[in-house]
Amino acid sequence: QQLLTGRASRPRPFRVTNADRSLKKGIMAYSLADLINKVGESLSVLCVSGLVLDEDGTGVDTEGFFQALPENSVLMVLEKDQKWTPDTKSPFRGQPSDF
Amino acid sequence: QQLLTGRASRPRPFRVTNADRSLKKGIMAYSLADLINKVGESLSVLCVSGLVLDEDGTGVDTEGFFQALPENSVLMVLEKDQKWTPDTKSPFRGQPSDF
């Protein structure tokens, strides 16, 4: 029954950053809807327009894909008109000119 | 029975991008046919002409090859007249002139 509703029996940890990566919070969430609710409060985001994976900008739109994410996945919350951009400070994503 | 139909017992996560890589979505899919159905809606693609691996443009045409892909493989959806091109922004695919 829990599988049918896509809602886990206990909350899982996620890490959520804002669009400029100036703030990152650990949040426990049962579901995507639950996370979106909590993100607004935790990161002071008034209107969440989307959640994407920080690593590659993949949009997390469905409960099923959210449930398939491993614990402690890093997500980025986007507000209206904000877009994901690669993390240029990440050691694995240096620009070619860095070499 | 599930093996005969080529349909997995539970959906697996994939990441699908459009041809210009401006949009990427996480999608759960049981099968290649299921993914193609969901891609149209998720990425607002009217008519899917093909699915290829984002990393090297390999065409994913058969259910068998699709089922052999690891979870979270990144696929690119192509519409008519669209072609796969290498991702020049990927850190692992710097252009030869960068070295």
pLDDT digits (tens, 9 = 90+) for A58-74: 999 999 999 999 999 99
Residue A34: pLDDT band with limits 50, 70, 90 = very high
Closest residue in chain B to residue A60, using alpha carbons only: B26
The C-alpha atoms of residue A78 and residue A17 are separated, in whole angstroms, by 9
Which among A59, A94, A99 has the least Cβ separation from residue B26?
A59
Q: Which of B86, B29, B10, B3 is nearest to B52 (CA)?
A: B86
Which residues are bridge partners to A77 per DSSP? A51
List Cα–Cα distances, B73 to A61, B45, B55, in angstroms.
17, 19, 9
Q: What mean pLDDT comes out for the span A73-80?
A: 96
Burial of B22 (0-12, 13-18, 19+ CB in 10 A): exposed
Q: For strand A74-79 and strand A12-17, is the pairing parallel, antiparallel, or unpaired?
A: parallel
**Among the ranges A45-49, A94-98, B76-80, which has the highest mean pLDDT value?**
B76-80
pLDDT in tens, B71-98: 999 999 999 999 999 988 765 554 454 4
For residues A5-20, give the mean pLDDT: 85
What is the Cα–Cα distance from A91 to A89, expressed in whole angstroms? 6
Distance separating alpha carbons of residues A35 and A32, to the nearest angstrom = 5
Is the pLDDT at A96 greater than 60, yes or no?
no
Closest alpha carbon within chain A to B30: A64
Disruptive mutation site among A4, A49, A52, A62 for chain B (greatest number of B CBs within 10 Å): A62
Residues of B in contact with A93 (CB under 8 A): 91
Half-sphere exposure of B33 (CA within 13 A, CB side): 5
The structure tokens 């994503």 sit at: A93
- Tens-digit pLDDT profile for residues B8-50: 689 999 999 999 999 999 999 999 999 999 998 899 888 899 9
Distance from CA of A53 to the nearest CA of B (A): 9
Question: For B46-78, how does the pLDDT look when each residue is reduced to its tens digit (9 = 90+)?
Answer: 889 999 999 999 999 999 999 999 999 999 999
Angstrom distance (rounded) from CA A35 to CA A27: 7
Give me the helices (H) in chain A, please. 2-5, 32-42, 63-68
Per-residue CA distances from B63 to A64, B35, B59, B66 (Å): 21, 11, 12, 5
| CB–CB contact A65 B27 (8 Å) | yes
- Look-up of token digits 């804002």: A18
